[in-house]
Amino acid sequence: MRALIALASFLAQVGFSSGSHDIRLSSSSRITTLSADVTVEASKTATTAIIELYYEAEGNPLAGQIVPSKTGNKGDERTPLVFDCGYFSRLGEYRFALQDPMRESRVMTNVTVSATKRPEIELRTKSKHEASTTDVKVTVSLPPILCSSAVVNQYPTFIRFLRNNSVVMATREVTFPPSSVVFLCDVFNQPGSYVAQLVMSVRNSDVIVAESNVMEVNWSGEYSLDVTD
């Protein structure tokens, strides 16, 4: 990011100060996480600028791009800047900040998008299971539009089983987009309510991307234990 700012500062010094920058969303202001790229359009002027992408109140940007200066005396010139779908992994508000390259802390204008829902990834398991008997398969169904990029592949991703919404019984690392996985029978050695979750680790916090139905695990009826004097 420092190299990006340094380059923009150099380019700004060789330009002329005229006109003003502005940015517009080419995508919807409400998006689904981990789905499509988000495109903004920035006006070109005689000087360059930087657009940085922020999440909520985080101080460090997720990404940044340079808005090139226009050439000659052309009229209104706009350039599309595409931000990778992998940056939009969490629910909440994302802010595109147009920065003055000569003053790193000066924000000339902002535009925001809100990630309001998660992708329609479906995790399915059986509804009932007997403890310590057979393996359990988690079937994954994917929506037609889902993020697949180098950015999203940087995040550790896994499917885990929780018992009674609190105890992590097992974790399997997967790629994104994920495929179906099988958990061994010894994971389900205690009765309770089990749920499979697709989880992504983003900036040291776990993001739940999808969750399965509840699978009730009960003791097997094939065995009995009698205590006699």
Q: What tens digit of pLDDT does each residue of 28-49 get?
A: 899 999 999 999 988 876 677 8
- Report the range of poorest mean pLDDT among 27-36, 60-69, 104-113, 117-126: 104-113
**Token digits of residue 39:** 């495109």
**Short-list 24, 32, 108, 95, CA closest to 64:** 95
Going by their DSSP bridges, the two strands 78-83 and 63-67 should be labelled as: unpaired
Across-strand partners of 81? 40
- How far is residue 194 from each of residues 123, 128, 155, measured CA to CA in Å? 13, 10, 25
pLDDT tens string 206-217: 999 999 999 999
CATH number among 1.10.10.10, 2.60.40.1930, 2.60.40.10, 1.20.1200.10, domain 122-218: 2.60.40.1930
Higher per-residue pLDDT: 91 or 50: 91
What is the pLDDT at residue 4? 46
CATH numeric code, 2-117 = 2.60.40.1930
Kindly provide the b/e burial profile for residues 27-51, where b requires at least 16 CB atoms within 10 angstroms of the residue's own CB.
eeeebbbbbeebebebbbbebbbbb
Residue extents of the structural domains in the chain: 2-117, 122-218
